Amino acid sequence: MPRPGEGKVDCTVIAGRVHQTLSSAYPLKLLSPEAVHNPDTRLIPAVSYILSYGGGIVHGDQIHVDATAGSGSALLLLTQGSTKVYRQRPGRPPSYLKNPKNDSKFDIHQTYQTLVVDVQANAMVCLLPDPVTCFEHAKYNQRQVVRMADASASLVLLDWVTSGRMSRGERWVFDKYLSVNAVLVGGKLVIRDALLLEDARALSKDRETSSFKRRLADIDVFAYLLVLGPEVAKIAKVFRDEHAEHRIKPFRPNARAVDAEETDIRWSVSEVAEHGLEGVAVRVAGPSTEAVKWWIKKRIGGLQSVVGDSAWSMYYNA
């Protein structure tokens, strides 16, 4: 039996069919709609939704998901709506949320979400959640590690965060956002991207140095995207080509952007080549979830032919 907040997704391909086993315990819920296998795709797709009861997580929640994509499978991990991180609840979390395993490890006044993904040889995982939205005073720790068996495994990982409940005028007013994305290939750590947004302690003489709200004043959404491995080489190329074509001319305050729709999007692409694993890392900043979502969707459309129409539409049409 999984402990509170824990869940497991296992994808195995047996005799040309994908078998998915799921288990999860409150407040976490995993759901797996069937994705039709289009015989044109080499990998067999499977989809899992990572959900939480109440549509968000609170302090004291310690979500932990283990996911494995077996050889020959393409596992899409999705959410339904943004991951909302609510502010601290008064007092201690109820005992039914207690996971004794984490007792000494975690601070009960913060929220933790851990995802441990194994991608076997010739398999793929696409982690394409909606963005994280931290409410005022929330303290959130997101910890994701992807262990790729070798350079034949593939990965698409999207990690993004919004400024908060923009409709209520809350912008960058949470207390803490820590997001770590680590990628291992054959047991060797090759990427560790760790972003911390947290204001330094108040006794700082120089308040100016410590405010992430000011640092991020011009944007409302920041996304980090990894596109790695042989199955998604074509998608990596889309970004590479764009990088090669779109030179940046010296800034002019009144210059008109060529592509008006994407005026407010800032992006950069970095080549990644580690331990035989190749691809790109993309960073995108924009003024709204919709703008950034659309910018990304438009460029990763090549996934459709990798995972098939059925699985693709669950992501694309969401």
Instruction: Out of 168, 215, 297, 298, name the contact with other proteins by CB under 8 A.
Output: 215
Would you count residue 182 as binding other proteins (CB under 8 A)? yes
Other Cβ atoms within 10 Å of 56 Cβ, number: 18
Match 């940046």 to its residue by tokens: 248
Which CB sits closer to other proteins, 16 or 187?
Answer: 187
Three-class secondary structure of residue 141 per DSSP: strand
294 is an interface residue for other proteins by CB under 8 A: no
> How many Å apart are CA 295 and CA 293, to the nearest integer?
6
Stretch that binds other proteins, among 33-41, 49-57, 162-170, 187-195 (CB under 8 A): 187-195
Query: Nearer to other proteins by C-beta: 44 or 285?
Result: 285
Q: What is the dihedral of CA 256, 259, 261, 262, to 10 degrees?
A: -90
Q: Does 127 bind other proteins (CB under 8 A)?
A: no
Candidates 31, 36, 194, 318; binder of other proteins (CB under 8 A) is 194
CA 160, CA 100: separation in Å to the nearest integer?
A: 30
Q: Show the tokens assigned to 85.
A: 């991180």
CA-to-CA distance for 157 and 108, rounded, in angstroms? 28
> Which helix (H) or strand (E) segment is 243 a member of?
helix 233-245
C-alpha distance from residue 144 to each of 7, 178, 197, 263 (Å): 14, 11, 17, 31
Q: Does 283 bind other proteins (CB under 8 A)?
A: yes
Of the two residues 41 and 113, which places its CB atom closer to other proteins in the complex? 113
The torsion region of residue 149 among left (phi > 0), alpha (psi -120 to 50) and beta comes to: alpha
Q: Is 151 in the site for other proteins (CB under 8 A)?
A: no
Q: Is the dihedral of CA 280, 285, 288, 294 positive or negative?
A: negative
| Cβ proximity to other proteins, 20 vs 159, nearer residue | 159
Binders of other proteins among residues 233 to 252 (CB under 8 A) are 243, 246-251
Rounded Cα distance, 132 and 50, in Å: 13
Span from 26-34, 92-100, 128-136, 197-205 in contact with other proteins (CB under 8 A) = 197-205
Please select the residue that binds other proteins; options are 90, 205, 259, 317, rule is CB under 8 A. 205
Determine contact, residues 296/225, Cβ cutoff 8 Å. Answer: yes
Contact pick of 233, 272, 288, 313 for other proteins (by CB under 8 A): 272
Least distance between other proteins and beta carbon 243 (Å):
6
Stretch that binds other proteins, among 39-47, 83-91, 127-135, 199-207 (CB under 8 A): 199-207
Q: Is 105 in the site for other proteins (CB under 8 A)?
A: yes
Task: Decide if residue 109 touches other proteins (CB under 8 A).
Answer: no
Name the site residues for other proteins (rule: CB under 8 A). Answer: 105, 114, 141, 143, 145, 178, 180, 182, 189-197, 200-201, 204-206, 208-210, 212, 214-216, 218-219, 222, 224, 226, 243, 246-251, 253, 266-272, 274, 281, 283-285
